[in-house]
Copies of this chain bind each other. A is one copy, B any other.
Amino acid sequence: MVVNTDVRMKGFHKKVSVDKALKILLQNTGVLETEKVQIANTLGRFLSDDLVASQDIPPFTRAAMDGYAIKGENTFGASQINPIYFKLIGNIQTGKVSRINICEFEAARIMTGAPLPHGANAVVMFEHGKEFKDEIEVFRAVAPGKHASLKGEDVEKGEVILKKGHKIQPQDIAIMAAMGISDISVFKQPHVSIIATGDELKEPGMELNEAEIFDANSYSLHALVERTGGIPKIRGIVNDNYKELIIAVKKALKSDLIIISGATSVGEKDYVPKVISELGAILVHGVAMRPGKPTGFGMVENKLVIMVPGYPVAAIFSFQIFVRHVLEKMQGCPTPRKGYVIKGKLKRKIPSQIGRRDYVRVIVDLKHKVPLIDPIRTGGSGIITSIIRANGFIIVPENTEGFRQGKIVEVNIF
């Protein structure tokens, strides 16, 4: 798989398809180690084992309402006009183990969440009964099981609730807590070094000459890494200088992953592929996609190095199409997580080129039964606002010259 290449000034020999590039990339991505984390801090982390129920939830049959624990069948026929009388034999509090046993036409006051006493199978709400000393008039019939939460009705012991590699959501944390789990094993978060290259780049906040621009990629990549569960570190701007790049890459090898933006193409000063191939090996250089063609991957001392284009939009797409899946795999996510996809109808045709996969930014109007999809007309991968205005993108595959107006297409939502 290793292509040792210096393509500067010659154009890409051969662009690899997106699918092949992603396959090569993920074949070279390792899964990180695991660590125990307190459940409160696991939002967005990935489970390193199946979550198997260690107990029934609820752990005992309990009252779902405040009221009277009774045998449901004893209430049959009860109404406002013809109440049925029960003997009040005690109180059942939440949290306390009770010895009460409910016989025919007996009742005990019970609070929501308290264990239903032996012999009872339902609860009559307080509003549907009236107490007279040790007797209760019940005005409403309740079937057995009414206002009771049965042992194990949520989760049965031994059940697999969540799979290894699942990304943890708030409700998942609720179920872990409900099972008494205080901390849980998840995959570690990848440390990611971000390097920007370019003689024309300056850090935001500094002064520019008339040929300089500010580095945007370090900051958007920082945010994207953070949102994907990684721990980003901005390592600053490196000039288009072979030696400086060598030093910067070597320094960044402490991280689990390196992302370098800019100087990844085939120009005279595009030193990044050369540096990576000399320090290690290039796996892919040039992908048949737009935006993002100058994307490449390499390995240096067993660490993946991702080269993303300098154009801000192309860098974001390279991240979304490739780096995101790398970070998720490192965190134990078993297969590339598909983004959120919906179907909609194209408002305008999209032209494209055979042999290249296009990612077209679109504005989705969800007010319609079949959402309307409006492709943004700008093609330039330097136009950052195009990705701010868009709320999704369409993939135009390699084997087509584009999509006609009115076509039903899949939209990946941002």
Chain A residues proximal to chain B, CB less than 8 Å: 9, 11, 39-40, 43, 57-60, 62, 64, 66, 93-98, 111-115, 126-127, 149, 153-155, 161-162, 169-183, 198-206, 208-220, 222-224, 226-227, 232, 234, 240, 265-269, 310, 312, 316, 340-343, 366, 368-371, 380, 382-385, 387-388, 408, 413-414
The answer to whether A66 and B265 touch (CB under 8 A), given A208-B59, A384-B154, A408-B369, is yes
* Cβ-defined contact, B149 with A211, below 8 A: no
* Cβ-defined contact, B211 with A95, below 8 A: yes
A268 to B343, CA, bound (A): 52
* Cβ-defined contact, A212 with B175, below 8 A: no
Q: Identify which of B174, B227, B269, B384 contacts A384 (C-beta below 8 A).
A: B174
* Cβ-defined contact, A154 with B382, below 8 A: yes
Which B-chain residue is minimally distant from A96 (CB atoms)?
A: B211
Given A39-B219, A66-B268, 14 further pairs, Cβ under 8 A: A58-B213, A95-B200, A95-B209, A111-B269, A149-B380, A154-B380, A162-B388, A170-B316, A173-B223, A178-B312, A179-B214, A180-B214, A182-B203, A341-B366
* Cβ-defined contact, A209 with B269, below 8 A: no
* Cβ-defined contact, B219 with A174, below 8 A: yes
Min C-beta distance of A106 to chain B, whole Å:
20
Q: Identify which of B58, B154, B312 contacts A174 (C-beta below 8 A).
A: B312
Q: Which residues of B contact A266 (CB under 8 A)?
A: 66
* Cβ-defined contact, A370 with B370, below 8 A: yes
A155 to B370, CA, bound (A): 32
Q: Identify which of B11, B212, B216 contacts A127 (C-beta below 8 A).
A: B11
